[in-house]
Amino acid sequence: MILLILLIPFITGLLLPFFRNTATARTIALISTLVNLVLTLTLLNVDQSITYSAEWISSMGIPFALGYDGISLIMLLLTNLLFPFIVMAGFGRDQKNVPMLNCLILCTQAALIGVFLAQNAFLFYVFWELALIPVYFILLVWGGDDRKAITLKFFIYTLAGSLFLLFGIIYLYQLTPGTHTTDFSAFNQLHIPAGTQNWLFWILFIAFAIKMPVFPFHTWQPPTYKMASTQGVMILAGVMTKMGVYGALRFLFPVVPLGVQYWQNLVIIMSLIGVIYASIIAYKHTNLKTMIAYSSMAHISLIAAAMFVLNVYAVQGLLFQVLSHGITIVALFYIACLVKEKTGTTEFPQLGGLKIKAPNMAILFLIIVLGSIALPLTAGFVGEFLMITGLFQQYIGYAIFGGMTMILGAIYMLYAYQRVMLGGQKAAFEHISDVRTLDYVILIPLILLILGFGIYPQPIFNLVEQSVSPMVNLLKPVAEVVSSVVN
């Protein structure tokens, strides 16, 4: 079944360019994503020992091996949950070469699924790179102003991160005994000297930090998010940032536990600096899409800080927040798309008073904003509360700065809402319309997920529990090192 989940979007995507009718291409793409979502949901009650393996590069001991554990399942669920909304975001809109656009979207989905299912580092790297290629063309062809320069910067950053990752994988491959292998299980059993782990940690961490991104590896993100098309930015912010989180969990903790322990506090401090920095810039910025981009960076930075706290609360919180953030940020960027379509701008000085002509959009926007600022009974609150609790157990100062995400987030998000929706009606907006049926179809399910996971998070916790056990096993080497140092 897991091979089928990988192949459905890939094969469908390759076939789409042969369908010249725009509506047909969009419908087939949507059906493909919905089928994949149903198959993914069936995995929630299936034994996680299900794997697929086939001969691939036998001379190097590299099989085409797919499998999943709880951590992979969280990422897989997020990916296949969001892509139907990403495809639907293109419905009813004037886009050039729709079959090719949806081909690239589905190929991106397939590559992301491959990243989360790969059971050896080489296959992981292949899918990691494959995910970059279709996104590059989505940005370059369907992006906005200055797309060539901005896409080039995005490509250079991500390529640099990929080269760091490739170097780390090659180095680890050479360390494996016998005929060498890139299996994660073999990497996890390596006993690397502490001094080597200290520098190897940064080789691997930089690759994942760029993808998330976290401070100070973030400078590609705001202009890229602002320039990207609606579907492009939904892919980047909703799913691709989680590649970095997943990669860090999969590589750093089991492979270089001594390096994690050595640099733990520095990475937490860097991440918390990113929380404050991104929040301040978000408040000061005058463009809605750029503000949302910095908001995303602030939340991802808190996830990165919680990742290195090394306790169960933080692990539960970050895995829950991976889902919550993906859903909320996709909804926010779709709202930004609606604002741009109705007014022709996302610049705050030119906006205001939209609630008069679009009251339903104002209500939907407000609910999503409340989810973004982690109001109780929304999904964002559950994840951030657990992450801040984990930070508190590590050090109260970390919890204070981590908690600033909620405070500063409320300030800049509500301020943005005020500048877009409230105030007197601008003369230029007298003839704008409210949300369409399609917009309800996209936004209402996302809002229900935000509220549903916040009001009744237990189903996700049941899923997260399957992820916490593997994570605790990953953290055991680090915990033992910390305990020995303390004693």
Residues 261/252, Cβ–Cβ less than 8 Å: no
Tell me the per-residue pLDDT of 70-103, one tens digit each, with 9 for 90 and over: 788 889 999 999 999 999 999 988 888 899 999 9
The identity of residue 425, as a single letter, is: Q
Alpha helices in 212-311 (DSSP H): 221-227, 230-235, 241-255, 257-284, 288-307
In angstroms, the CA 186 to CA 146 distance is: 45
Helix (H, G, I), strand (E, B) or coil at 176: coil
Most confident option among 28-37, 40-49, 345-354, 425-434: 28-37
pTM of the model: 0.91
Residues 390/309, Cβ–Cβ less than 8 Å: yes
Q: Is the dihedral of CA 406, 409, 411, 414 positive or negative?
A: negative
In angstroms, the CA 293 to CA 351 distance is: 18
Give the CA distances from residue 366 to residues 116, 229, 443, in Å, rounded to whole numbers and listed in that order: 33, 23, 12
Alpha helices in 344-436 (DSSP H): 354-357, 359-372, 379-394, 396-421
| Residue 485 clears pLDDT 50, i.e. is over it | no
- Range in 82-86, 334-338, 476-480 with the lowest mean pLDDT: 476-480
In angstroms, the CA 319 to CA 458 distance is: 13
Q: Cα(first)–Cα(last) distance of the chain, in Å?
A: 48
Q: Point out which residues pair with 118 in neighbouring strands.
A: 66
pLDDT of residue 470: 59
In angstroms, the CA 223 to CA 226 distance is: 5
Stretch (H or E) spanning 51: strand 51-57
Residues 44/463, Cβ–Cβ less than 8 Å: yes
The identity of residue 400, as a single letter, is: I
Tell me the per-residue pLDDT of 6-41, one tens digit each, with 9 for 90 and over: 999 999 999 999 988 899 999 999 999 999 999 998
Helix (H, G, I), strand (E, B) or coil at 316: helix
Tell me 150's DSSP state.
Answer: H
